[in-house]
Structure 1
């Protein structure tokens, strides 16, 4: 018998087991751990709430519920740390839904002041469970003057003035004389006083001169009025990066042309560009002379021209080797252009012209053109291009090809090349204005044209970063509740990325205190996080060694304090009532804990019977081992007793 069983087990039989068990219904308690709760309630009140919730938990567990605690961020904790810098009640409830998906909910209790300051309103969402709400905090309207918002440009140009608008909200305040003060480096640079009358919202507009380069810190304050208890929202800080100046884009042409208007529209859409227009004897904007070395890109529209009107200015720019965009036309001196250091060769001087339409080169790699722009561009009307044999070097990259009638060719209509660090583009024909006008007539917009030439101008006007070591914070401004993240890149002689370099980062705060950090780059790990930095402007210096030579990068970044939780401390019980009503729950306050306890524990928990099916090898069952052992023992006993051995 034993031998038979052992032989049977060697065949590897499988046993299917079905186990039934009862899963308890889940009750989740979500506690609002935001700063507004800390400001509006004292520790005694919060401790009393914790005790009541512990009693409720014990009662629910006795009824057969599984109880889970979570805070706004989804961390499971019965005693949360009240340090959340923002409140997103909808996200907190969504976290519950996602985290416990598949569970049977007995309900959710949201313990909150009802104030949310980020995300969407929880009233606009549908939840899969009843949400009971427990209102905490103070619903009394407090006397408060708060800086609700500051509107400003994060980037300003040195020597220019930039606007700052300070928006002040008044609650429980009438007929006050409020003064808003603007300070820079501890010095008051502007101040405005206004009578509020019966207004609940007042704005103050400042014009500030950007004098120093770098990240500048500006402190803004509104005076405290009688009866205010929350004065921390009377002050705020902003950071503005002041840069040397805008990129200068020059257009040089022998005569006015509608192409110039079309390109001017594209250029002036970008606040980072300053347009310089020079048409000899017709217009010069601005009137003062601009040094050629200060120009980032020059657009030669039919320049150099056969009449020589733009020859002097053309020669200055060519000698300085500015980035250039040539647009050829009937006035262009093609013979002179062919002798210049530009990516275009021709056999003879063409006298005739072809009518061609554009086709976008989808393999162009210097920048991308959207599918929407691509489809629009291919429908543009024809432009006139010189008829003849033109040759572009192999290093030139066509952006647009010529299509003659319905025949697409490999002749470039618009091509770019970079040689010896200088970027050059050549457009073989004039009449760009027809493209923009045609697109506007067809679609009511000119987004395709503006995208195509906007990206081309941006590419040509941008100097390539040829440094072999780059290290920088991934953004210029960080919140004090997030880490400052640095990214470092190291390249070899042919500008391929290399790894394994030790990066030394030195961060200096505005008090002169220096902190040093070190890490080693690796594929997929070129970033480094620095936490715990307080508000202020920081200077950094990153260093590494490449082939025995020290490489260094310097720069600045800012850390700003997030005080959104202090903007409003008046509890919103009305929102909590509506949320409970919308989801089939009930609203309670700390004054009727007994009702909350009685209502939530009066219903017996109804679990869910679930089945779990498993397949196990018969030989793995422990019971079978003991059965075989007993059988072997019994067989041995009888054989021994009856003398079989």
Structure 2
């Protein structure tokens, strides 16, 4: 308590006593017990009121100590197991976490890094990918405001993600690299990279590009062979020298039959090669017999046109031709779907041709759309005319039934421009996205689909969708999610298949280094997404004839099952609902490939550069004796003492009010009882 407050409290007591005495002592020669009691009650009342005004407080200072963190990030990928370093890693982590001096100085936190960063102190070394850069990105958020030296135990071989050797600029913590693996350079041939499209078209040829790399000091030759089953489809002899140690090979293969075709590329190993796993790569291609052709019709230039073309053509199965309302009339039958961008009266003949051919269409309405014309030629919906424009954001309708839609964070996308008002449909329709203004849903469709007279239509009530693709890239660092969303819209609109209560989404083949995820949606008889159903998948290995069953897991707007544990092979599957007699079947292929087994040596250069630039140190796994001493002796990592000053009220105002009320009430009652009032 401050001296000033103490003085005020003493003065308040004296003043309260003086006022109470003035009422009950003045002009009285002696005080009766009754008057003494009245004086005391009056004193309590006045003193409590004055205390309430003074509100005396006590300052409390508490001291706390904050130890620095010691972050141990362990590479949990299968490359550690392949390089036979798992025992050394386990021993080192046990040595660090059990050291009493380290535990006294640091808060030790252990993480595993693979495809994602996870807080864990157990390691199985089975993860298929390594993303060191991503792990540092997550750690920088966790330990942004603390002292957290980091021990990175890894071979340094990253399978995806940006270069990590410069992550010290973002992480800003000293990094101590513990390097795993063999640092001796061995003679090695490997297929560094193989590039091939995912799809090819029947009776065409598809290109294959292969990058071959040699590590050695002598001149060698080998044979590069590509096989399909037992058939050799391409082969050639390759020569390498110490100076000319890489080759780029380009060749074409025929696409003679529809379906998924698997190939194996092999660079025949040398006699003294230590690692032969990186000498081959499996790849596959799906041959299709048709290509979805899309006409994108507009009478003016807009950024949306380029974005739509790029997004649609990101899938090799689709092509887009930009046309205007007059040039399309003579070639309308060449396209499976027509995208009509902001139509006006010049589109009258186009609409007549589309209706005559009953052609599927995708209409985009914006600020330059002639609504009077559109309402006249269109028989399925009308749009309110207000001569005003508005911007609407989007929110996903999770009960959309016709096909699976992933929420790609639509609510973060910029608003689309369009006419103010709402659309009125004369036929049943399905809403994909609803309009929102300032987070308030308008219950009006922003993006909708419907079927009528045997054709499908999609309508988007807004322009500037190019901003959505840009925002999607900012959110995910990739255009894939947005392009996939547009691709699904085109695929649905171009098809005339009837909608199903059970929809399945899967790939025809999966590379061995990717997750094998199959998604499904199940709807009730009213085509509302049913979260109560239990879906199961039965998977049969075509080669071994082994059958396994897996349950689907509900994941927000769809069901998912992860089949990444299955070995490389051909598979047939059936997805079935347990409560109803509904099922769907399909097949896929898993290619054999483990990217973590492609590395023979640790990436010493990057790990040493990372440690040096972050003001840490690098150690080899066989020479870590000085690591603990280095951490304990570094004066940068000290315990910080913090003081917190809290101001606490000595008296709770609620209790003071109760005391005041009681003392006044008691005084009044006693005076009344004794006839003094």
What is the match of residue 296 of structure 1? 336
Q: Do the aligned partners of residues 133 and 304 (structure 1) sit closer, same or farther apart at CA in structure 2, a change above 3 Å counting?
A: closer
How many angstroms apart in 1 are the aligned matches of 2:57 and 2:542? 72
The one of 234, 254, 264 aligned to 1:219 = 264
What is the match of residue 571 of structure 1? 602
How many angstroms apart in 1 are the aligned matches of 2:625 and 2:452? 81
Q: Do the aligned partners of residues 457 and 100 (structure 1) sit closer, same or farther apart at CA in structure 2, a change above 3 Å counting?
A: closer
What's the offset of the Cα at 1:492?
4.8
What is the match of residue 640 of structure 2? 608
Q: 3-state SS of the aligned residue for 2:184? A: coil
The one of 97, 120, 123 aligned to 2:162 = 120
What is the match of residue 65 of structure 2? 22
Q: Do the aligned partners of residues 26 and 274 (structure 1) sit closer, same or farther apart at CA in structure 2, a change above 3 Å counting?
A: closer
Q: How does 1:93-492 map to 2 (within 5 A)?
A: 93-105=136-148, 107-125=149-167, 126=169, 127-172=171-216, 174-197=218-241, 198-247=243-292, 270=313, 271-273=316-318, 296=336, 323=360, 419-422=452-455, 458=490, 462-478=494-510, 484-492=516-524
What is the match of residue 567 of structure 2? 534
What's the offset of the Cα at 1:222?
1.2
What's the offset of the Cα at 1:393?
10
Cα RMSD after superposing both structures: 5.5
- The Cα offsets for residues 456-493 of structure 1, whole Å up to 9 and x where unpaired, read as 99589602543222332455554657653333223455
**Pair 1:509-2:541 in alignment:** yes
What is the match of residue 109 of structure 2? 68
What is the match of residue 32 of structure 1? 75
Q: Do the aligned partners of residues 612 and 144 (structure 1) sit closer, same or farther apart at CA in structure 2, a change above 3 Å counting?
A: same
- The Cα offsets for residues 140-168 of structure 1, whole Å up to 9 and x where unpaired, read as 22211111111111122233221222221
What's the offset of the Cα at 1:374?
8.3
What is the match of residue 557 of structure 1? 588
How many angstroms apart in 2 are the aligned matches of 1:109 and 1:488? 42
Kindly indicate whether the alpha-carbon contact (under 8 Å) linking 1:468 and 1:492 is maintained by their aligned counterparts in 2: no
Q: Do the aligned partners of residues 462 and 108 (structure 1) sit closer, same or farther apart at CA in structure 2, a change above 3 Å counting?
A: same
Q: Do the aligned partners of residues 35 and 491 (structure 1) sit closer, same or farther apart at CA in structure 2, a change above 3 Å counting?
A: closer
Q: Do the aligned partners of residues 134 and 458 (structure 1) sit closer, same or farther apart at CA in structure 2, a change above 3 Å counting?
A: closer
- The Cα offsets for residues 601-631 of structure 1, whole Å up to 9 and x where unpaired, read as 3357632224578999999xxxxxxxxxxxx
What is the match of residue 587 of structure 1? 618
Q: 3-state SS of the aligned residue for 1:29? A: strand
Kindly indicate whether the alpha-carbon contact (under 8 Å) linking 1:217 and 1:536 is maintained by their aligned counterparts in 2: no
Q: Do the aligned partners of residues 188 and 104 (structure 1) sit closer, same or farther apart at CA in structure 2, a change above 3 Å counting?
A: same
How many angstroms apart in 1 are the aligned matches of 2:361 and 2:178? 67
Matched positions, count: 490
How many angstroms apart in 1 are the aligned matches of 2:270 and 2:228? 24
How many angstroms apart in 1 are the aligned matches of 2:184 and 2:245? 17
Q: 3-state SS of the aligned residue for 1:526? A: strand
Moved more, 13-22 or 210-219: 13-22
How many angstroms apart in 2 are the aligned matches of 1:606 and 1:41? 36
How many angstroms apart in 1 are the aligned matches of 2:62 and 2:320? 78
Kindly indicate whether the alpha-carbon contact (under 8 Å) linking 1:473 and 1:557 is maintained by their aligned counterparts in 2: no
Q: 3-state SS of the aligned residue for 1:497? A: coil
Q: Do the aligned partners of residues 598 and 211 (structure 1) sit closer, same or farther apart at CA in structure 2, a change above 3 Å counting?
A: same
- The Cα offsets for residues 189-248 of structure 1, whole Å up to 9 and x where unpaired, read as 332333345422212233222344333322221100132101111111123222231135
- The Cα offsets for residues 481-530 of structure 1, whole Å up to 9 and x where unpaired, read as 76533332234555443443343422222323222334586974533444
Q: Do the aligned partners of residues 196 and 519 (structure 1) sit closer, same or farther apart at CA in structure 2, a change above 3 Å counting?
A: closer
Kindly indicate whether the alpha-carbon contact (under 8 Å) linking 1:180 and 1:204 is maintained by their aligned counterparts in 2: no
How many angstroms apart in 2 are the aligned matches of 1:424 and 1:146? 50
- The Cα offsets for residues 84-127 of structure 1, whole Å up to 9 and x where unpaired, read as 3333333334444433454433x323233333332233332223
How many angstroms apart in 2 are the aligned matches of 1:303 and 1:187? 54
Kindly indicate whether the alpha-carbon contact (under 8 Å) linking 2:229 and 2:263 is maintained by their aligned counterparts in 1: yes
Q: Do the aligned partners of residues 514 and 590 (structure 1) sit closer, same or farther apart at CA in structure 2, a change above 3 Å counting?
A: closer
Q: Do the aligned partners of residues 275 and 135 (structure 1) sit closer, same or farther apart at CA in structure 2, a change above 3 Å counting?
A: closer
Q: Do the aligned partners of residues 396 and 28 (structure 1) sit closer, same or farther apart at CA in structure 2, a change above 3 Å counting?
A: closer
Kindly indicate whether the alpha-carbon contact (under 8 Å) linking 1:167 and 1:203 is maintained by their aligned counterparts in 2: yes
How many angstroms apart in 2 are the aligned matches of 1:614 and 1:41? 56
Q: 3-state SS of the aligned residue for 2:123? A: coil
TM-score normalised by structure 1 residue count: 0.60
Kindly indicate whether the alpha-carbon contact (under 8 Å) linking 2:183 and 2:602 is maintained by their aligned counterparts in 1: yes
TM-score normalised by structure 2 residue count: 0.57
Kindly indicate whether the alpha-carbon contact (under 8 Å) linking 2:89 and 2:153 is maintained by their aligned counterparts in 1: no
Q: 3-state SS of the aligned residue for 2:503? A: strand
Kindly indicate whether the alpha-carbon contact (under 8 Å) linking 1:536 and 1:560 is maintained by their aligned counterparts in 2: yes
How many angstroms apart in 1 are the aligned matches of 2:95 and 2:339? 75
Q: 3-state SS of the aligned residue for 2:76? A: coil
Kindly indicate whether the alpha-carbon contact (under 8 Å) linking 2:521 and 2:558 is maintained by their aligned counterparts in 1: no
Q: Do the aligned partners of residues 65 and 181 (structure 1) sit closer, same or farther apart at CA in structure 2, a change above 3 Å counting?
A: same
Q: Do the aligned partners of residues 207 and 35 (structure 1) sit closer, same or farther apart at CA in structure 2, a change above 3 Å counting?
A: same
How many angstroms apart in 1 are the aligned matches of 2:392 and 2:139? 47
Kindly indicate whether the alpha-carbon contact (under 8 Å) linking 1:541 and 1:553 is maintained by their aligned counterparts in 2: yes
